[in-house]
Amino acid sequence: MRFIHTADFHLGKTLCQHSLLEDQSYILGEIKRVIKAEKPDAVIIAGDLYDRSVPPADAVSVLDDWLADVVLEMGVPVLAIAGNHDSASRLQFGSGMLQKAGYHMAALPSRGIGHVRLEDAAGPVDVFLLPYADPPYVRDYFLARAGDDETAREAAAEIREHDQAMKAWMAHLADLRGNEGMDSKRAVLVGHAFVQGGDVSDSERKLSVGGADQVPADHFAGLNYVALGHLHKPQEMLGGTVRYSGSPLKYSISEAEHQKCLLMVELDGDGQVEVTEIPLAARRDLRILEGTLDEIVEAGTAAKAEGRDEDYIHARVISDEVLHEPMRKIKTVWPHALSMERVLTRVAGDNTVGSGQENTISQRLAERPLDELFGDFHRQLLERDLGDDALTVVQTTVTDLNRHE
């Protein structure tokens, strides 16, 4: 059995107010080419098909066209779940009809764990689809199942955190496999969760406050493969049985060093798993450039001459001086530059410090009086000190601000 594991499309997402839909349409085309070349038995999408619960119409059209090509034209089943960014009710709409065509969607937690049985020469593979759900929805599901069973109701009422919710789901899955004929020796779970020890990035929306959103990988013991979504970096846990495919595109500056990929998962007749990463190349890469403003502009000039200036750029400009329209200068050579940050190397006569000590810089700034900081800013901007009258205005304003605070 061979299937492709992917997740976190986030269709409709913007980065630094820039729409990524053209890039997303391109990368879905790349995924489609891999599917056509590899001819997998199925494609798994582990949640977050859209970036928000009410996606823009053009994002819906992009997914609709892609699913039609994969499911109807290529004849490859797609097994998907809702993630924490998705609207469960919208994704669930029409799922009964679409299932007959080969598109299997599990979105509503009130419907429990979805089940799809795939077959190969070695026999059946049971794929269980567990949609994302906040703990209160999981608690409601198990309270409804408990009926008049007081012991079951008491256990369900204790579900408050994601760890407890996942533990309840996995106990329920064990019952399903034992009691309802879903007991094939090869079982795959599709889920959307934050597993403890996972490497996070800035673009993942937290599932809850603090660490209450994390679940132990041990909950998934006994399954041949667990295809997860939510974390955007490809990574593995539990000896490689539990895996995140990561997102197909870089969705934050913190993902600049990620190598995005698809996972080709192969299950042999005994349920042993072999996973191969298939790299994905974006329409435009997302890179971080660090240096002085002149160095970044010079690098862009060289890249432009070689036709390599189309990437998305986050510029980390090293400078202690006031910069005049730095982003405009960067965009003249890097037309798709998205953002910029200024990295200070010294503060008010202190010894030079490295960019890794920004917290120390912030602390030093916070310890200085506000009127002195304003005086430094005025001196850098206009190359002269504040006059006595202006200094009095600043000091009076600062005093008034402190009084109001």
- For residue 349, what pLDDT band results from cuts at 50, 70 and 90? very low
Which pLDDT score, from 0 to 100, does residue 404 have?
Answer: 55
- Domain with residue 71: its CATH number is 3.60.21.10
- For residue 355, what pLDDT band results from cuts at 50, 70 and 90? very low
Of 233, 253, 279, the residue that ends a domain is: 279
Contacts of 35 (CB under 8 A, 6+ apart): 4, 43, 70, 74, 76
Same domain, 218 and 291: no
Which pLDDT score, from 0 to 100, does residue 346 have?
Answer: 59
Q: How do residues 127-147 score in pLDDT, each as one tens digit?
A: 999 999 999 999 999 999 999
Tell me what the pLDDT averaged over the chain comes to: 90
Instruction: Answer whether residue 275 shows pLDDT above 80.
Output: yes
Which pLDDT score, from 0 to 100, does residue 359 have?
Answer: 47
Q: How do residues 360-383 score in pLDDT, each as one tens digit?
A: 455 555 556 777 778 777 776 676
- Say what the pTM is: 0.84
Which pLDDT score, from 0 to 100, does residue 357 have?
Answer: 46
Same domain, 99 and 12: yes
Which pLDDT score, from 0 to 100, does residue 351 have?
Answer: 47
Of 240, 260, 279, the residue that ends a domain is: 279
Average pLDDT value for residue range 203-216: 73
Same domain, 296 and 364: yes
Instruction: Answer whether residue 114 shows pLDDT above 80.
Output: yes
Instruction: Answer whether residue 6 shows pLDDT above 70.
Output: yes
Q: Over pLDDT 70: what percentage of the chain? A: 90
Same domain, 68 and 161: yes
Which pLDDT score, from 0 to 100, does residue 356 have?
Answer: 46
Q: How do residues 240-273 score in pLDDT, each as one tens digit?
A: 999 999 999 999 999 999 999 999 999 999 999 9
Lowest mean pLDDT among 11-15, 107-111, 321-325: 321-325
Average pLDDT value for residue range 306-324: 90
Which pLDDT score, from 0 to 100, does residue 182 have?
Answer: 79
Which pLDDT score, from 0 to 100, does residue 29 have?
Answer: 98
Of 230, 245, 279, the residue that ends a domain is: 279
Same domain, 125 and 263: yes
Instruction: Answer whether residue 118 shows pLDDT above 60.
Output: yes
Same domain, 162 and 75: yes
Same domain, 273 and 394: no
Instruction: Answer whether residue 403 shows pLDDT above 90.
Output: no
Domain count, the chain: 2
Average pLDDT value for residue range 199-211: 72
Which pLDDT score, from 0 to 100, does residue 84 have?
Answer: 95
Lowest mean pLDDT among 9-13, 205-209, 307-311: 205-209
Same domain, 158 and 34: yes
Which pLDDT score, from 0 to 100, does residue 140 have?
Answer: 97
Which pLDDT score, from 0 to 100, does residue 397 have?
Answer: 82
Average pLDDT value for residue range 204-233: 86
Same domain, 179 and 250: yes
Instruction: Answer whether residue 57 shows pLDDT above 80.
Output: yes
CA 401 to chain centre: 40
393: containing domain: 286-404
Q: How do residues 153-188 score in pLDDT, each as one tens digit?
A: 999 999 999 999 999 999 999 999 987 777 788 999
Same domain, 132 and 39: yes
